[in-house]
C-alpha cells in the first residue's frame, strides 16, 4: 500500500486498511484539508480492489455526468460482475438534487462512491447520502511525511531526478514548514523554486530560504472564511482568551487576520466573550470590547489589527467570571419549565386611580427612602426565592459577592 501519511487510517490493523485488504468496502466520504492524499487514496483503493475507476469533479460536472457513469457501471457489472468506483472531488459543491441522483446507485451497490471534501460533511452532504457512507477524516500531513514526499519527488520525478539540487541553510525545513501539511503546496513550491534557481559553475541548483519564500509567497493557510477551519480558528481564539493566555490568543488572532477574516466578525465575538466569560469580574471589559468594535468599524484594516490586539490582550488578562451567563441560563430554564409567575401587586406601577383601587403598587418600599436598600420580596408569589447569580472571588465580583451576602444573608451564593 503506497501512500504516505494518514497512519491513523492506513497503518497495519487500522480500520480502513483492513477494509481495503479484505475488500469489504462501503461508500465513503474522505474529509480533510487540501493536499493530504484524498485523490491518491481513492486511486489506491481502486487499484487494490481491482475496481473500474471513474473520477469527476463536482465543480465541472452535473447530474448528466453522474448518470453516464451509473449507466456504464451497470453495463460492466452485467458483463463480468466488475465493481465500479466513482470518485467525486469536492462533493460538497453538488447541490441537493445532484446528490440525490447518487442515492439509488449507492444503495443498491451499483456504485462504490468515494466523495472528497474539505468541508464538514455534516453540513455539506445531504443526510440520506451521508447515512449510506462511512466518513473518514484525513489529517494534515506531518513534517516527517512531507519529508518523505519531498525525498521521493527528488529521487523519482523524471525532471527533478536529472538535476543536481542542493538546499542551503535551513531552506529544506522552511519548505516543509510553509507547506503546512499540504503535499500539493510543497511540490508546487519546489517546482517553482527549481525553475527560478540559477545553477552555479558546477551545474548545481542552490535553493536558499529567500527562493523558497518567494516560491511559496506566504505560508499556506488552511483557512476558509466559510469553511470548517473558520469556526475552529475563532473557537481557538475565544478559548485562548477565556483561558487567560494572551500569547496564544494573539497567535490565533494573527491566523484569522492573515486568512482574511472580517475584523468586525472578530470584534463581535470579543464583545460576547467580554460578557460571557469576564462579566462583572471586570465590567470595563465589555466597554473596551464595544469600543474596539466601533474603532474597527471606523478605521478598517490594516490598523484595525492593532485595536483587535489591544482588546484581545486586555480580555485575556482580565479576571474571569461566567456568573452572569450561568445565572440567566438557569433563570431561563426555570421559566421554560414552569409558567411565568404573576408580577406581585406591590411591584406593579399604578398610573391610574383604577389600578390604585385594585392594589397596584400598594406596599412597595422605595429603597432610597431606606438609605438605598430595604428587604422585600421581588419574586412572584408562587416562585421560590432562588439564587441565580453566584459571583466568583475574581476581580470586582469579590466585592459584589460580599455586598450581596450582607444584603441577602439568607441566600447562599456558593
How many other CB atoms are found less than 10 A from the CB of residue 17?
18
Give the pLDDT score at 259: 79
C-alpha cell at 299: 478605521
Query: Is residue 212 within 8 Å of 185, Cβ to Cβ?
Result: no
pLDDT band at 279 (very low <50, low <70, confident <90, very high): very high
Q: Which region, left, alpha or beta, applies to residue 53 given φ > 0 means left and ψ of -120 to 50 means alpha?
A: beta
Give the pLDDT score at 79: 79
C-alpha cell at 232: 475552529
Give the pLDDT score at 225: 53
CA gap 289, 291 in Å, rounded? 5
Query: Is residue 192 within 8 Å of 215, Cβ to Cβ?
Result: yes
Residue 221 lies in a domain: no
Return the CATH number at 268. 1.20.272.10
Q: Which residue has the higher pLDDT, 337 or 61?
A: 61
Closest CA to 188 of 207, 211, 216, 165: 216
pLDDT band at 54 (very low <50, low <70, confident <90, very high): very high
What number is the average pLDDT over the span 195-215?
86
- Regarding whether 11 and 133 lie in a shared domain, the answer is yes
Whether 220 shows a pLDDT value over 60: the answer reads: no
The residue out of 79, 102, 137 marking a domain boundary is 137
CA gap 355, 50 in Å, rounded? 86
How many other CB atoms are found less than 10 A from the CB of residue 218?
8
Whether 317 shows a pLDDT value over 90: the answer reads: yes
Q: CA dihedral in degrees (247, 249, 250, 255; nearest 10)?
A: 130
Query: Is residue 69 within 8 Å of 84, Cβ to Cβ?
Result: yes
Return the CATH number at 384. 1.10.3710
Whether 242 shows a pLDDT value over 90: the answer reads: yes
Show the DSSP H helices in 33-165 as ranges: 38-48, 63-80, 96-107, 121-124, 127-131, 143-156, 158-161
Task: Determine which of 149-153, 202-206, 376-380 has the lowest per-residue pLDDT on average.
Answer: 376-380
Residue 172 lies in a domain: yes
Give the pLDDT score at 227: 57
C-alpha cell at 215: 516560491
What phi, psi does 256 have (nearest 5°)? -60, -45
C-alpha cell at 171: 531552506
- Regarding whether 21 and 125 lie in a shared domain, the answer is yes
Closest CA to 119 of 16, 42, 231, 25: 231
Helix (H, G, I), strand (E, B) or coil at 336: helix
- Regarding whether 161 and 122 lie in a shared domain, the answer is no
Return the CATH number at 79. 3.40.50.300
Q: Which residue has the higher pLDDT, 29 or 335?
A: 29
Q: Which residue bears the cell 456504464?
A: 72
Give the pLDDT score at 282: 94
Give the pLDDT score at 51: 86
The residue out of 137, 154, 189 marking a domain boundary is 137
Residue numbers of the domain that contains 258:
228-317
Give the pLDDT score at 320: 94
Give the pLDDT score at 313: 94
Sign of the four-CA dihedral 375, 378, 381, 387:
negative
Q: Work out the mean pLDDT of the chain and round it to a whole number.
A: 87
- Regarding whether 125 and 51 lie in a shared domain, the answer is yes
What number is the average pLDDT over the span 277-292?
95
Residue 185 lies in a domain: yes
Residue 412 lies in a domain: no
Whether 223 shows a pLDDT value over 60: the answer reads: no
Task: Determine which of 68-72, 116-120, 256-260, 397-401 has the lowest per-residue pLDDT on average.
Answer: 256-260
Would you call 262 exposed, middle or buried from its count of C-beta atoms within 10 A (0-12, 13-18, 19+)?
A: middle
Domain count of the fold of the chain: 4
Q: Which residue bears the cell 473557537?
A: 235
Give the pLDDT score at 339: 66
Give the pLDDT score at 305: 93
Whether 226 shows a pLDDT value over 90: the answer reads: no
User: Please, which residues have CB within 8 angstroms of residue 111's CB and are 6 or more apart in sequence?
Assistant: 27, 69, 70, 73, 84, 85, 86, 102, 105
Q: 304-316 pLDDT, tens per residue?
A: 999 999 999 999 9
| Residue 383 CA, distance from chain mean position | 42
Residue 336 lies in a domain: no
- Regarding whether 152 and 122 lie in a shared domain, the answer is no
- Crossing angle for the helix pair 304-317 and 228-242, nearest 10 degrees? 50
pLDDT band at 277 (very low <50, low <70, confident <90, very high): very high
What number is the average pLDDT over the span 375-391?
80
- Regarding whether 41 and 27 lie in a shared domain, the answer is yes
- Regarding whether 199 and 124 lie in a shared domain, the answer is no
CA gap 408, 389 in Å, rounded? 12
CA gap 168, 174 in Å, rounded? 11
Whether 327 shows a pLDDT value over 70: the answer reads: yes
Give the pLDDT score at 27: 93
Whether 396 shows a pLDDT value over 60: the answer reads: yes
Query: Is residue 77 within 8 Å of 111, Cβ to Cβ?
Result: no
Return the CATH number at 169. 1.10.8.60
- Regarding whether 105 and 34 lie in a shared domain, the answer is yes
pLDDT band at 202 (very low <50, low <70, confident <90, very high): confident
What number is the average pLDDT over the span 391-399?
88
Would you call 7 exposed, middle or buried from its count of C-beta atoms within 10 A (0-12, 13-18, 19+)?
A: middle
- Regarding whether 252 and 207 lie in a shared domain, the answer is no
Give the pLDDT score at 116: 94
Q: Which residue has the higher pLDDT, 223 or 123?
A: 123
What number is the average pLDDT over the span 146-161?
88
- Regarding whether 345 and 293 lie in a shared domain, the answer is no
| Residue 50 CA, distance from chain mean position | 37
Q: Which residue has the higher pLDDT, 115 or 108?
A: 115
- Regarding whether 107 and 154 lie in a shared domain, the answer is no
User: Please, which residues have CB within 8 angstroms of residue 254's CB and are 6 or more apart in sequence?
Assistant: none
User: Please, which residues have CB within 8 angstroms of residue 108's CB and are 6 or more apart in sequence?
Assistant: none
Residue 235 lies in a domain: yes
| In the chain, % of residues over pLDDT 90 | 36
Helix (H, G, I), strand (E, B) or coil at 69: helix
What phi, psi does 336 have (nearest 5°)? -70, -35
Residue 272 lies in a domain: yes
The residue out of 83, 109, 137 marking a domain boundary is 137
- Regarding whether 70 and 101 lie in a shared domain, the answer is yes
Task: Determine which of 38-47, 82-91, 94-103, 357-366 has the lowest per-residue pLDDT on average.
Answer: 357-366
- Crossing angle for the helix pair 263-273 and 304-317, nearest 10 degrees? 20
| Residue 212 CA, distance from chain mean position | 29
Residue 51 lies in a domain: yes
Amino acid at each position: 500500500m503506497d501512500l504516505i501519511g494518514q497512519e491513523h487510517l492506513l497503518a497495519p490493523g487500522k480500520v480502513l486498511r483492513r477494509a481495503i485488504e479484505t475488500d469489504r468496502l462501503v461508500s465513503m466520504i474522505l474529509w480533510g484539508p487540501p493536499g493530504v492524499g484524498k485523490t491518491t487514496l481513492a486511486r489506491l483503493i481502486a487499484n487494490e480492489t481491482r475496481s473500474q475507476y471513474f473520477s469527476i469533479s463536482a465543480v465541472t460536472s452535473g447530474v448528466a455526468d453522474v448518470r453516464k457513469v451509473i449507466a456504464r457501471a451497470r453495463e460492466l457489472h452485467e458483463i463480468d460482475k466488475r465493481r465500479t468506483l466513482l470518485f467525486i472531488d469536492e462533493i460538497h459543491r453538488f447541490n441537493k438534487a445532484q446528490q440525490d441522483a447518487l442515492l439509488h446507485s449507492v444503495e443498491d451497490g451499483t456504485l462504490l462512491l468515494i466523495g472528497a471534501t474539505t468541508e464538514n460533511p455534516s453540513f455539506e452532504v445531504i443526510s440520506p447520502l451521508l447515512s449510506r457512507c462511512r466518513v473518514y477524516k484525513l489529517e494534515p500531513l506531518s513534517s516527517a511525511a512531507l519529508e518523505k514526499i519531498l525525498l521521493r519527488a527528488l529521487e523519482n520525478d523524471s525532471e527533478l531526478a536529472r538535476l543536481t539540487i542542493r538546499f542551503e541553510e535551513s531552506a529544506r525545513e522552511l519548505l516543509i514548514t510553509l507547506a503546512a501539511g499540504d503535499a500539493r503546496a510543497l511540490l508546487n513550491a519546489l517546482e517553482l523554486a527549481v525553475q527560478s534557481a540559477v545553477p552555479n559553475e558546477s551545474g548545481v541548483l542552490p535553493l536558499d530560504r529567500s527562493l523558497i519564500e518567494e516560491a511559496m509567497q506566504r505560508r499556506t493557510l488552511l483557512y476558509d472564511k466559510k469553511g470548517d477551519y473558520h469556526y475552529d480558528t475563532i473557537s481557538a481564539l475565544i478559548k485562548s482568551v477565556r483561558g487567560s493566555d494572551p500569547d496564544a490568543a494573539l497567535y490565533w488572532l494573527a491566523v484569522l487576520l492573515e486568512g482574511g477574516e472580517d475584523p468586525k466578525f472578530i470584534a463581535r465575538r470579543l464583545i460576547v466573550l467580554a460578557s460571557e466569560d469576564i462579566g462583572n469580574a471586570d465590567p470595563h471589559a465589555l466597554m473596551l470590547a464595544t469600543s474596539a468594535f466601533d474603532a474597527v468599524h471606523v478605521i478598517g484594516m490594516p490598523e484595525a489589527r492593532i485595536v483587535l490586539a489591544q482588546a484581545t490582550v486586555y480580555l485575556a488578562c482580565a479576571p474571569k467570571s461566567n456568573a452572569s451567563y450561568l445565572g440567566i441560563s438557569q433563570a431561563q430554564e426555570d421559566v421554560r419549565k414552569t409558567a411565568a409567575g404573576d408580577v406581585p401587586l406591590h411591584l406593579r406601577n399604578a398610573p391610574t386611580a383604577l389600578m390604585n383601587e385594585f392594589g397596584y403598587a400598594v406596599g412597595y418600599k422605595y429603597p432610597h427612602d431606606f438609605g438605598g436598600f430595604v428587604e422585600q420580596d421581588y419574586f412572584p408569589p408562587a416562585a421560590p426565592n432562588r439564587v441565580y447569580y453566584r459571583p466568583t472571588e475574581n476581580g470586582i465580583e469579590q466585592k459584589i459577592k460580599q455586598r450581596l451576602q450582607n444584603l441577602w444573608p439568607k441566600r447562599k451564593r456558593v
